[in-house]
Amino acid sequence: MNALAEGLSGPRSEAGDVVELIVLRPADASAVLADAMAGDARAYGIITALRDVIALVERAPSHEPKVCVICSQPLRCKGFAVGLVMPTSENPGHVLGLGVCRRCARSRGDVTAKLMKAVRDVWPDVRPVTITHSTGGRA
């Protein structure tokens, strides 16, 4: 099982085959943090996944950097985006955050499609949905 397939096992066990894909750029984080601090459980799940991805990227040894899930280039500490795969429940327990390099993250529509393709390679039956509540609507 590769790292992506392993990471997806949590959301997969919780979500059936329906997940929401969200792409967050650095500029999006403060709004999600504000929602989390206001008690939004989904926003809290997103912030937790973001924190985990940032920690993994920053703590990765330079000879073994974390890589972009789309293009496999090393992620630099500054300016990367995070793709999130999350169950559609109000209070998701398993949110997987995936690093997306600056270059791949440039166009949001494009990056969501590329992220979907990367996820679908290891989870062929997955069905993405778009949720229009406050947090998802910003993604």
- The binding site for Zn ion (CB under 5 A) comprises 68, 70-71, 101, 104
Give least dist CB 103 to Zn ion, A: 5
Distance in angstroms (rounded) separating the CA atoms of residues 97 and 24: 10
Give least dist CB 78 to Zn ion, A: 14
Q: Which lies closer to Zn ion via its Cβ, residue 75 or residue 139? A: 75
Q: Which residues contact 87 (CB under 8 A, 6 or more apart)?
A: 11, 14, 15, 18, 19, 20, 93, 94, 95
Give least dist CB 104 to Zn ion, A: 3
Q: Which residues contact 135 (CB under 8 A, 6 or more apart)?
A: 22, 32, 35, 40, 42, 43, 46
Q: Which lies closer to Zn ion via its Cβ, residue 49 or residue 115? A: 115
Q: Which lies closer to Zn ion via its Cβ, residue 43 or residue 119? A: 119
